[in-house]
Amino acid sequence: MAHTIAFHLIRVAKKIQNEIGFKAGGLNLSVSQGSTLLIIDSQKDTSQVDISTKLHLRPASIVSLVDELEKLDLVTRQTISTDRRRYQIILTEKGKAEVKKIRARSNILEKYIRSVLTANQARVLYEALTKLAISLDKIPITLGSQKSLTGKEVKNELPSPKQYMAS
């Protein structure tokens, strides 16, 4: 297994998550929570549906995720005047400060990764990961289900609402 692309991607992803430090700084954020803050920061007029699409989680899971971020005073919900059934998710001042910390750690990590790779290696890696991300978004239903290729139940690495609170 150590020689598979998927194994190496998982290994590298976990190291990157640890280095970015969602668990650092006293807030002990899950990857989903940290990613949610970054999504909200990068998009104007972010809704729960937008977040669920970006994180590949069910919209119902996002409700609990946003509830927890609200309890931490990192985000607030505001009803959208044109559709009172939908909420716009907005960063609080505390949330903006946390995003700055996450982005600063991400920038340091980006510089480090680029120092380890040649410019060509970095370009090829970026192109390959972009292509892979796009193609995995189109993964066939049989592969994208909650069952592995062998038919066994698998857990999503992005925590569900119950999982992320324990992570």
**Whole-number Å distance between alpha carbons of 27 and 76:** 17
Give the mean pLDDT of 32-50: 88
Residue 27's φ and ψ, nearest 5 degrees, are -85, -25
What's CA 105's distance to the chain center, in Å? 15
Cβ proximity of 32 and 65 under 8 Å = yes
CATH architecture of the domain covering 5-166: Orthogonal Bundle (1.10)
When pLDDT is averaged across residues 26-35 and rounded to a whole number, the result is 81
Read off the pLDDT of residues 11-28 as tens digits, 9 standing for 90 and up.
Answer: 998 888 888 876 666 667
Please check the confidence at residue 43 and state whether its pLDDT lies above 70. Answer: yes
Q: Evaluate if pTM is beyond 0.75.
A: no
Residue-wise pLDDT for 50-70, tens only, equals: 888 888 888 888 889 999 999
120, 122, 100, 124: which is closest to 111 by C-alpha? 122
Residue extents of the structural domains in the chain: 5-166
